[in-house]
C-alpha cells in the first residue's frame, strides 16, 4: 500500500547528516531539508507534490532525490539544490513541475538535469565549462551567466522566456538556442565579434539582443 503524508514535511536546520527513510512515501506538498549536513538525499520521498528544498546542505550528490517534483497540470513544484558542493546533477529529479535551481555549485556541465522544465532554469555561478545535459525545453528564463563557458554548445533548443549568458568567456556562440521568446543577454566583450544581425541569423529571437 502506498504511504502518503498529507501536507508539508520540514526537516530544516536540524544538523542532519542523513535523512530518515521516507523513500516509499509520497509527500503531497513541500519537502524541506535545507541547511543541514547532508552529503546525499538517500531516504528522500520518491514523489513530492509541490516544492523540494535541499539548498545549503553540503550535498555532494543528488542520489536519492525524488524522481518527480510538482505537478505538470498547474506548473507547480520547484527543485532547489543551489549552494551545495555538487559536481554533478545525476541522481536528481527527471520531472520538475516549475523551476530548477542549481546555481552556486561546482558543476562543469548539466548532465543529469531534466529534459524539460516548466519554469525557469538557474545554473549561474556554478563553474560551468559546458551546457551539455541542459534541458531541451525551458518554459521560463534560462540563467547560465557568471560561469566559465567559451561556447553555447549544449544550450536548450527552445527557451520560452529570456536567455542570460553574460559574464562568460565566450569565443563562439555556436549552439545558441534555436528559439528564444524573450531577450538574449550576451557578454559585452563579444559585441565586436558577433553583431546583432549575426546573432539573429542563428536564432529566432522575439526580444532584443543585449550586450552587458
pLDDT in tens, 58-68: 999 999 999 99
Task: Give the strands of the sheet with 68-69, arranged side by side.
Answer: 3-5, 25-27, 47-48, 68-69, 95-96, 116-117, 137-138, 158-159, 179-180, 204-205
- Pairing state of beta strands 137-138 and 31-32? unpaired
What the block records as the C-alpha cell of 156 is 536548450
C-alpha distances (whole Å) from 50 to each of 18, 55, 80, 96 are 22, 16, 12, 9
Q: How confident is the model at residue 73 (pLDDT cuts 50, 70, 90)?
A: confident
pTM: 0.96
- pLDDT tens, residue by residue, 10-20: 999 999 999 99
The 10 Å Cβ neighbour count of residue 86 is: 22
Give the model's pLDDT for residue 40. 98
Provide the pLDDT confidence category of residue 134 given band limits of 50, 70 and 90. Answer: very high
Span 189-202, pLDDT tens digits:
999 999 999 999 99
Q: Is 5 exposed, middle or buried (0-12, 13-18, 19+ CB in 10 A)?
A: middle
Note the pLDDT tens digit of each residue in 109-127. Answer: 999 999 999 999 999 999 9
Amino acid at each position: 500500500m502506498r504511504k502518503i503524508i498529507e501536507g508539508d514535511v520540514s526537516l530544516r536546520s536540524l544538523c542532519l547528516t542523513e535523512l530518515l527513510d521516507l523513500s516509499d512515501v509520497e509527500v503531497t506538498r513541500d519537502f524541506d531539508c535545507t541547511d543541514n549536513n547532508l552529503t546525499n538525499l538517500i531516504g528522500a520521498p520518491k514523489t513530492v507534490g509541490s516544492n523540494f528544498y535541499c539548498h545549503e546542505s553540503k550535498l555532494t550528490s543528488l542520489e536519492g532525490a525524488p524522481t518527480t517534483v510538482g505537478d505538470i497540470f498547474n506548473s507547480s513544484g520547484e527543485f532547489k539544490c543551489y549552494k551545495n558542493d555538487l559536481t554533478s546533477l545525476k541522481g536528481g529529479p527527471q520531472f520538475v513541475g516549475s523551476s530548477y535551481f542549481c546555481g552556486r555549485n561546482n558543476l562543469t556541465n548539466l548532465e543529469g538535469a531534466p529534459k524539460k522544465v516548466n519554469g525557469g532554469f538557474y545554473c549561474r555561478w556554478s563553474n560551468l565549462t559546458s551546457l551539455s545535459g541542459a534541458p531541451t525545453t525551458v518554459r521560463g528564463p534560462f540563467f547560465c551567466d557568471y560561469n566559465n563557458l567559451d561556447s553555447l554548445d549544449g544550450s536548450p533548443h527552445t527557451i520560452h522566456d529570456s536567455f542570460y549568458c553574460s559574464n562568460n568567456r565566450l569565443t563562439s556562440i555556436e549552439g545558441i538556442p534555436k528559439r528564444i521568446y524573450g531577450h538574449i543577454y550576451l557578454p559585452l566583450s563579444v559585441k565586436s565579434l558577433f553583431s546583432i544581425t549575426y546573432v539573429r541569423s542563428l536564432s529566432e529571437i522575439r526580444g532584443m539582443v543585449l550586450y552587458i
